[in-house]
A and B are shown apart, each in its own frame.
Chain A
Amino acid sequence: MKNARSHLNELLVTLPSLLWLAIFFLIPTLIVLAIAFKPTDFYGGVGAGWTLETLRSLGNPNYPAIIWRTILLSIATTIICIVLAVPTGYYIARLGTRWRQIMLLLIIVPFWTSFLIRIYAWKVLLHPDGLIKKFLASLSIVDIHTSLLHNQWAVLLVMVYTFLPFAILPIYAAAEKFDYHLVEAARDLGARQWQGFYKVFLPGIRRGLLTAILVVFIPALGTYLIPDIMGGPDAEMIGNKIAQRVFVDRNLPHASALSALLTLAVFLPMVAVLFLQRKKDGSEPIIKESA
């Protein structure tokens, strides 16, 4: 049971971050939502009064396909990233301290180069005269006339490339804390190697997995630079549409409506995951005994 004083203390401690979140996250989000109900004005600003016109215009027949593609690409990116990150995280966690630090450094090194430059580097690599294209063509794996650029696959490739480190790090962190005696215990009780992995290791790094899924899936949904640079007309994502509404059409209410849609799409899975996590952890104490 908490007394009034500790309640007050709790409030004082959390107040700054609450204020910060309110001013820089909640209020702007609400403003964006509000703008969705405003008309446009002639000069590309926000007009006076309220209207549902914008929401109706979301019925644009192009949108369902774009939203579907956005979700599909994000899910594909997440799955590929997790599938690659689990063995990588496991492997790094099992290395000696020295090699572990080197591997972690190698994962972080790309961040020292601008994101934009790294995407353009991929463009160069996949370019019809680029290294990868020429190599694949010389092996007759791809036809010399097909383009590796400007399609969904190029977008997917660069999305996986971009988000993979964000998946590896939380999984590595969980794998590093995992007690590998548990896998031995499972083997001892008759589990094959894959059963030990599946029934004991994966549940053991559950939190790391959930974090990895969130930090890949959410930004993947909002990506617009990658499809903009790597994709073509058939690889547009919702982020591109929002950018287009803002910068080309100067239709802020429409962009806001799309953003609100995206926010909901991000918010719902996050709530679901948090709910799942809470349900699982309900019976666990806050301070875990380290075995």
Chain B
Amino acid sequence: MASTNYLEFENVSKHFGSIRAVDRVSLSIAKGEFFSLLGPSGCGKTTLLRILAGFENPNTGRVILNGRDITDLPPHQRRVNTIFQSYALFPHLTVRENIAFGLRIEKRLKKEIDTEVDRMLALVQMEDQAHKYPDILSGGQKQRVAIARALIKKPEVLLLDEPLAALDLKLRQRMLMELDLIHDEVGITFLYVTHDQGEAMSLSDHIAVMNLGIIEQIGTPAEIYEAPRSSFVAAFIGDTNFFEGKVTDIVGHEYSRLTIDGFPDVLCFNDKHISAGNPVFLSIRPEKFHISRDAPPNSNKRNIMRGLVEDVIYQGLLTKFWVRVQEYRLSIVQQHSRFLLDEKPIRWNEEVWISWHADDSFMLERYSESDEQLVSLPPENIGDVNGEAATPE
């Protein structure tokens, strides 16, 4: 990877009236990277993208691209190109003319334009559609034209504003792979805006999770999933179970003991070195639990407790369990590594053992008003954090 600060946002803010759409955001992106801005709608990710494209002027801060301050440049002087959510193909121009638009504006030679357009048509596999008008193209084809139209300008950064949102699921998955291939092929820096964690996780080298105009966390997909730094990130990316507790004492260098109302004491990995006495959130992903009929072997780093199965949802690849432990309702997911017909599956209303390793849970100290909605207490609602809550709108 080249220098990590090819594209930099320095302390960028944008206000619309009293709303802080983007609030003191600093961010640096490496050359050639696939970088995603991920967050619920209204989190400021699109505004940040529009600031980079030149459609919005930030109230404060600077945008630096390839060593040049582009904060005050008009859109047509920036070497960034955008793929709009609605594609914004010119309806009065054919596919070929749409793709050629950017080069025609530059007044390039006709021959040169033709070769470039042909190359782009081949890249997005739209050679047969070159003379059609956008109106009669399918969603996926429009998407490809939009990509070709932007890439032909050889931008330093390609901006993608929820490019797959308008496509149906099957097509979305295919375009996802195509985008990945195109990124590998052209090697241009991609800045991808989405509210869909699946898209961001599968494509990105790095993800910045945004909420309410600020960046909650920047990291690789694995870092963000496995080690979220705030309760917002933990809940927004993937599913999780939240518990509100308190650190009682520090065990060794890396672990701490927590009390959670109604639970036996719980051991948890403490990479954040939260000291005793502090209130924390404990987060455990559904797949990190182990559920069994027989008591699991005792080990000093495993937390073990009894629970009552309230619901079982068989999904083929996975089985989902809702298990009641005291007043909490836990979401647990088990993958079927094997399926033996003589093995009696765990059923509704059964008493089970659940356990998890201290390293598989994490503590979050952050507590803001927005977090309170995620960590819904009373405990009946804890389950709601899972599933739907992670994909707003």
Contact = CB atoms under 8 A, between A and B. Distances in A.
Interface in A151-204: 179, 181-182, 184-192, 195, 199-200, 203-204
Range class of the B interface residue count: 20 to 34
- Of the candidates A185, A192, A280, the one having the most CB atoms from chain B within 10 angstroms of its own CB is A185
B102 A284 contact: no
A185 B88 contact: yes
Contact of B76 (A182, A192, A204, A291): A192
Contact of B102 (A189, A200, A204): A189
- Of the candidates B80, B91, B132, B136, the one having the most CB atoms from chain A within 10 angstroms of its own CB is B91
Nearest to B50: A184
Contact of A190 (B132, B133, B153): B153
Contacts of A189: 76, 81, 101-102, 105, 149-150, 153
A283 interface: yes
Contacts of A10: none
Interface in A6-55: none
B86 A291 contact: yes
Contact of A291 (B88, B149, B153): B88
Given A190-B102, A192-B76, A185 B135 contact: no
Contacts of B46: none
A204 B136 contact: no
Nearest to B53: A188
B92 interface: yes
A285 interface: yes
A98 interface: no
B219 interface: no
Nearest to A202: B92
Contacts of B105: 186, 189-191, 195, 199
B87 interface: yes
A94 to B, nearest CB: 15
Contacts of B149: 189
B92 A188 contact: no
Nearest to B76: A190
B344 to A, nearest CB: 55
- Of the candidates B54, B81, B88, the one having the most CB atoms from chain A within 10 angstroms of its own CB is B88
B204 interface: no
Interface in A265-291: 280, 283-285, 288-289, 291
B339 to A, nearest CB: 47
Contacts of B132: 283
B91 A204 contact: yes
B136 A283 contact: yes
A206 B136 CA distance: 19
B153 A185 contact: no
Nearest to B101: A189
Contacts of A289: 135
Contacts of B101: 186, 189, 191, 199
Contacts of A284: 91, 133, 135
Interface string B248-278: 0000000000000000000000000000000
A187 B92 CA distance: 17
B136 A187 contact: no
A240 to B, nearest CB: 41
- Of the candidates A179, A189, A284, the one having the most CB atoms from chain B within 10 angstroms of its own CB is A189
A185 B81 CA distance: 9
A59 B150 CA distance: 61
A260 B337 CA distance: 89
Contact of A188 (B82, B86, B135): B82
B81 A188 contact: yes
A285 B90 contact: no
Contacts of A200: 90
A184 B55 contact: yes
A179 B55 CA distance: 16
A179 B86 contact: yes
A203 B153 contact: no
B343 interface: no
B199 to A, nearest CB: 21
Contacts of B82: 184-185, 188
- Of the candidates B75, B80, B132, the one having the most CB atoms from chain A within 10 angstroms of its own CB is B75
Contacts of B353: none
15 contacts: A181-B88, A185-B89, A186-B105, A188-B80, A188-B81, A188-B82, A189-B76, A189-B149, A189-B150, A280-B92, A283-B136, A284-B133, A285-B135, A289-B135, A291-B86
Q: List the 7 shortest-distance A-B pairs measured between CB atoms, nearest first.
A: A185-B88, A189-B102, A203-B92, A181-B88, A187-B75, A291-B86, A190-B105
Given A181-B84, A184-B55, A204-B91, 7 more contacts: A185-B89, A187-B55, A189-B101, A192-B74, A203-B92, A280-B92, A283-B132
Interface of A: 179, 181-182, 184-192, 195, 199-200, 203-204, 206, 280, 283-285, 288-289, 291
